[in-house]
Structure 1
Amino acid sequence: MTSSRPLRVLLVAHYYPPHVGGIENVAARQARALAARGAEVTVLTSALPAAVAPSPVAGVRVVRVPARNGIEDRTGVPFPMFGRGLHRAAHTWARWADVVHLHDTLYMSSWSAGWRAIRTRTPLFVTQHVALVEHPSAVVRAVQHAVYGTIGRRLLRGSRAVFVVNDSVAAFAGRLRGRRDGVELHPNGVDTALFHPASSAGERRRLRERWGLSPDRVLVLFVGRPVPKKGYGLMLAARHHDYDLVFAGERPKHTSDDPGVHHLGALGSDEVSELYRACDVFALPSTTEGFPLTVQEAMAAGLPIVTTDDPGYSSYGLDRAQVALIDRDPAVLRATLRALAGDPARREAMSRYSAAFAEAQFSWQRHAHRLEEVYREALTERGTTVTGTPA
């Protein structure tokens, strides 16, 4: 089959902005980057009650299927329950697409669209974001094993390529896939026009005033959902009067009255970018995430990084003298944060390192270019020709 039209990409993500979370942010930026290169992108995702969709992006169509969000509301696990319209939408848009790209295999949207791609022999690609998550609920752990061991395994084996952001997830995907070939380390990019260091001490002061934060306290920022996986409880357990804690993300049901703990709620990317520039240190004691997007954003904003010593970081070659990779222990976290709070010279050195590392390593243009390469390789084998895109 020959065509002169642009490349058609179906991206599938269980959530999408305005819902706040790492997978949906990656999917949105990936869609934008592919569209900027000339592709036609359709995103298949959930429609949640009372959600206000963000402004449209040229070249990106967002198809939202009604879903219920009760599981996340009750347990903190982001798992939308789709209605019957999911299968019809997956059938329609998988037929339209040249390639289908799933974001993780754990979710109903991926099951439906991925199975349709396999049935129609449409080239299938997967970004596997995480491995098995250590969750306190035995039910959640059992569901993960059941899903990844069945439909997840089938989708990973049926994909042309599996993209991961760290070695731990690569090993996990390789085991389920039955082979490591086709599993590729593929770092996410960062919008360095949005996420960048504060231009001056004056800008930092103005942002702190805007957000009601102390002008002279050391501020430690956490961005993420208030769940065990992200290390929210560890952050609270590491509280000390040497610094204030600033939380950006869904507001928990019960918050502390401690004046040194600030819960700012779920925020958009523009607002979070301001908080990066307002704060002094970024901390994320999460588990089984490897290199989360929020760590990349914080580095681009020039913040010293304190995060879990996850094996998934190994392939990035981080300088451990400039990035604090620590055990998930509140005493260790507290000691590390106290040491940084009392050492502005070390914070400044770590800040410079973060900004330089992000500038060199994290590019959405490079990310999208690699996706386009593998998409086109698959289409060439099928005899499908689409128009070129900008370099």
Structure 2
Amino acid sequence: PDIVHTRSWAGVDGALATALARYPKLVHSEHRRNLPYIHFEPAKRKVIRRCIYHLADQVFTVSEEMRQYFCRETGFDTRRVKVVANGIDIQKLDAVTLADAQALRAEYGIAPADCVIGTVARFQETKDLPTLVRAFAQLWHAQKSHGGLHLMLIGDGAERARLETLARELNVYEALIVTGLRHDVPRFLRALDVFALPSLSEGLPGAVLEAMGAALPVVATNIPTLPELVREGENGFLVNVKDPSALAERLSRLVVDRDLARRFGQVGRKRVERDFSLPAMLQRYERLYAELVASG
């Protein structure tokens, strides 16, 4: 190959091997950070990352915040790191018809007038799904009638049993839908009314981009990178991490005010079309690769 592209910490071995071989060109990109290293990098990782950055022909991150973070942690020059944002395939979302979404809702016993709050995630600690379950419980119990509101967790993972146990303890298990691992996520997104992301850390989350592409309002934690996607009061709301009450309050506003939810969704959709489509992302990658090859 002319170029080898490695990603994040998992790509460290490949990056070092490629760099030591001196051919082909090496591109290294940073896409996320996970617990326990979401606020700092330990000394060993700082040194190794800095070495890779110096050896690579091009380094990029998927968001401006991540560029600042990794350069700050490693002491690497920000001018030598690019930002190449992620993109999503909007056509896959548009291929899901209203009839498809209605059929899926019926499959899970969700009435047409019901409201579904949902998320797409790996069930692991960084995603902090227990906070979402607690927020939903506050919202659900605050209703005069307990019908018509559902929480759909699209995904699977190590914390599934813990989440289901928590839902039982909070007496909202009957309103919880856990889909398991799905390969038809666009169909599920089209069945939602509000999207929530309670994560402790993210890169440039594809789940939020896909939710915006599906014209869903988004309530997410105000963690680094999320303000680059969710603009407070324009296409969603931002709340502090591990604050179920704040999350519940913002979700409640969108559950009650469906017109506001639709307006937020429309704004988010237009933003994805303009800045985060798959063709736009592929053009950014193609331009970066072409420039490297042309440089000899």
Q: Place the TM-score, normalised by the shorter chain, in its bin.
A: 0.7 to 0.9
What amino acid does structure 2 have at the position aligned with 1:260? A
Q: 1:112 to 1:165 in 2, by over 3 A?
A: closer
- Residue correspondence of structure 1 range 1-391 to structure 2 within 5 A: 97-104=1-8, 106-107=9-10, 110-121=11-22, 122-131=24-33, 133-135=34-36, 145=42, 148-175=45-72, 176=74, 178-196=76-94, 199-200=97-98, 202-239=99-136, 240-241=139-140, 242=143, 243-251=149-157, 252-254=160-162, 255=164, 256-257=167-168, 258-268=173-183, 271-315=184-228, 318=231, 320-328=233-241, 329-382=243-296
Distance 1:177 1:156 in 2: 10
Q: Distance in 2 between matches of 1:313 and 1:282?
A: 14
Q: How many Å separate the matches in 1 of 2:32 and 2:272? A: 21
> Residues 267 and 177 from structure 1, CA distance in 2 versus in 1: closer, same or farther, beyond 3 angstroms?
farther
Task: For residue 91 of structure 2, give the secondary structure of its aligned residue in structure 1.
Answer: coil
Contact 2:235 2:264 (C-alpha < 8 Å) held by counterparts = yes
- Post-superposition Cα deviations, 1:48-104, rounded to whole Å, max 9, x if no partner, equal xxxxxxxxxxxxxxxxxxxxxxxxxxxxxxxxxxxxxxxxxxxxxxxxx21111121
Q: 1:143, CA displacement in angstroms? A: 11
How many positions carry a matched residue from both structures? Answer: 275
**Is the Cα contact below 8 Å between 1:186 and 1:367 reproduced in 2?**
yes
1:127 aligned partner, one-letter code: S
Q: Is the 8 A contact 1:156 1:177 kept in 2?
A: no
Secondary structure class of the residue paired with 2:220: strand
Greater fraction of residues in helix: 2
What residue identity is the alignment partner of 2:161? Answer: K
TM-score normalised by structure 2 residue count: 0.84
Partners of 1:281 and 1:207 lie apart in 2 by 16
Higher alpha-carbon deviation: 204-213 or 333-342: 204-213
2:150 and 2:235 map into 1 onto residues whose CA distance is 22
**Whole-angstrom distance in 1 between the partners of 2:32 and 2:276:** 19
Q: 1:214 to 1:228 in 2, by over 3 A?
A: farther
Q: Are the counterparts in 2 of residues 197 and 300 from structure 1 also a CA contact under 8 Å?
A: no
Note the C-alpha offset of 1:340.
1.1
- Gaps of at least 5 residues in structure 2 are 144-148
Amino acid in structure 2 at the alignment position of 1:331: S
Q: Is the 8 A contact 1:309 1:326 kept in 2?
A: yes
Structure 2 residue identity aligned to 1:250: D
Q: In 1, distance between residues paired with 2:199 and 2:39?
A: 20
Deviations 1:344-374 (A, max 9, x none): 1111111211211111111222222222222
Aligned to 1:86: none
CA 1:223/1:316 → structure 2, altered by over 3 Å: closer, same or farther?
A: closer
Taking the aligned partners of 1:116 and 1:205, their CA distance within structure 2 comes to 51
Instruction: Give the deviation of 1:167 after TM superposition.
Output: 2.4
Give the TM-score, by structure 1 length.
0.65
CA distance, structure 2, for counterparts of residue 343 and residue 232 of structure 1: 24
Out of 340-349 and 233-242, give the one that drifted further: 233-242
8 Å contact kept, 1:290–1:310? no
How many angstroms apart in 1 are the aligned matches of 2:56 and 2:194?
A: 39
Task: Tell me how far apart the structure 2 counterparts of residues 222 and 143 of structure 1 sit (CA, whole Å).
Answer: 27
Q: 1:151 to 1:213 in 2, by over 3 A?
A: farther
Give, as a single letter, the amino acid of the residue that structure 2 aligns with 1:279. Answer: L
Q: 1:309 to 1:195 in 2, by over 3 A?
A: same
Please report the RMSD computed on the Cα atoms of aligned residues, expressed in angstroms.
Answer: 2.5
Question: Is contact 2:88-2:209 (8 Å) kept?
Answer: yes
Call closer, same or farther: CA 1:215–1:317 in 2, change over 3 Å: closer
1:142–1:230 Cα change, 3 Å: closer
Are the counterparts in 2 of residues 167 and 311 from structure 1 also a CA contact under 8 Å?
Answer: no
